[in-house]
Amino acid sequence: MRHASGISESDLLARLARFQIETPSWGYADTGTRFGKFLQDAAATTVEEKLADAAEVHRHTGCCPSVAVHVLWDFPAPANEADVRRVARLAESVGLRIGSINPNVFQDACYKWGSLTNRDPVIRRRALEHVLDSIRVGQSVGSKCLSLWFADGTNYPGQGDIRQRKRWMSEGLAAVHGRLPADWTMLVEYKPFEPAFYHTDLADWGMAYVLAKDAGSRARVLVDTGHHLPGCNIEHIVAFLIDENMLGGFHFNDRKYADDDLTMGSIDPYQLFRIFHEIVSVEQDRGGVAAGAKADLPIAYMIDQSHNLKPKIEAMIQTVMTAQEMFTKALLVDREALRAAQSREDLVASENCLKDAFATDVRDLLREHRRAHHLPPDPLAAFRASGYAARAAAERGPRKTAAASSYA
């Protein structure tokens, strides 16, 4: 069967089968806002529980074989080789692998004035050593991706020398890249504000692009979809970075106002579709989905959201299903018709090529895809019926209550 877009169903399903998205360990734990943490009985409290929950998501969706880890949150501090390898074995035992390694240079009090851009060279060195330690952790668990986000910035005009801080950041990233294993990728993330409210040292994609390029050939930009000011055209950024061979990965989430960390596509699924459209159009230009994996862009698709109120695993499955839907819709854009409409400056027809694909209901196709791979056709319904959440709540909830009462 061939769709109106010109893509055969077998090619479409083959590309869909290669689509994988990484879930974050911290997405299974209790989270909240700056005003407080909201506890859920079934939320994970240990790395064992986080990995077990991530395995449930992969078991029901079939496309989440890796888990991102946060070094200070998922390993004892300081982490020795035995501790680190134990986590890798735990992941393997539940059918997962460890994905991106995320250092933490924003939580400790010593980073109050910054990490790699701190005025104090001792603190800058401490931050650098932690990132290098994180690389060593990653090597022990089989990771090949270092994901870097910095809270560094200032809150008031005159607080810091912006140009000097830029140079310190550049020096630090270059030092990290110099110690990067040859088969690794270093992702540099950006954010316009929070926790810094006057200026952030890596505030937008252009700054991340410049500093990643200066750092070395294996550094790329990481696009967090929530890290943009209102009205920003994220798919334009994505297209630009792809053309510059500088798009390394995504942290997917959604937002209404700023970095709200809402579940993927919950506010603007059409934006997510447009992002995937830019990616898929390049892959098809490189030889089409029929060309197989060699045409796929080397992009790390990752989730980074803080579903404070939704049940953790359900929110993650919902997000993954949304990602699959929007990616599939992007594959259905009639690119031949789109190019023809663009060539004659037919704005209405051009836009409708995208809107028609976005309006296509792909849920039946995805259900058949899952059945063919021995997966539940409706992952969310299957998880709800499994009783896993109730069992986890019964086991974990009393332990949380006991721990909370011991502090009272």
Q: Would residue 305 count as lying in a domain? A: yes
Q: Would residue 136 count as lying in a domain? A: yes
Token pair, residue 184, equals 């690794």
Q: Would residue 67 count as lying in a domain? A: yes
Identify the pLDDT of residue 288. Answer: 62
The CA distances from residue 287 to 11, 237, 238, 290, 291, in Å, are: 12, 23, 20, 7, 5
Rounded Cα gap, residues 4 and 63, in angstroms: 26
pTM to 2 decimals?
0.95
Above pLDDT 70, what percent of the chain?
96
Rounded Cα gap, residues 301 and 323, in angstroms: 10
Q: Would residue 358 count as lying in a domain? A: no
Average pLDDT over residues 16-28: 97
Alpha helices in 244-387 (DSSP H): 269-285, 312-331, 335-343, 347-359, 363-372, 379-386
pLDDT digits (tens, 9 = 90+) for 49-74: 999 999 999 999 999 999 999 999 99
Paired with 154 in beta bridges are 199
404: Cβ–Cβ under 8 A, 6 or more apart, which residues? Answer: 39
Rounded Cα gap, residues 44 and 29, in angstroms: 5
Domain at 168, CATH number: 3.20.20.150
**Residues 196, 187: contact at Cβ < 8 Å?**
no
Strand, coil or helix: what is 23? strand
**Residue 182: Cβ-neighbour burial (10 angstroms; 0-12, 13-18, 19+):** exposed
Q: Would residue 115 count as lying in a domain? A: yes
Q: Is the pLDDT of residue 340 over 70?
A: yes
309 secondary structure, DSSP code: S
185-189 and 97-102 beta bridge pairing: unpaired
Q: Would residue 198 count as lying in a domain? A: yes
Range of the domain at 275: 10-333+376-406
**Residue 361: Cβ-neighbour burial (10 angstroms; 0-12, 13-18, 19+):** exposed
295 secondary structure, DSSP code: G
Q: Would residue 238 count as lying in a domain? A: yes
**Residues 121, 171: contact at Cβ < 8 Å?**
no
Q: Would residue 352 count as lying in a domain? A: no
Rounded Cα gap, residues 329 and 323, in angstroms: 10
Rounded Cα gap, residues 215 and 172, in angstroms: 9
Number of domains making up the chain: 1
Give me the helix-helix angle, 388-406 and 47-61, nearest 10°: 160
Identify the pLDDT of residue 399. Answer: 87
The pLDDT confidence band at residue 6, using thresholds 50, 70 and 90, is confident
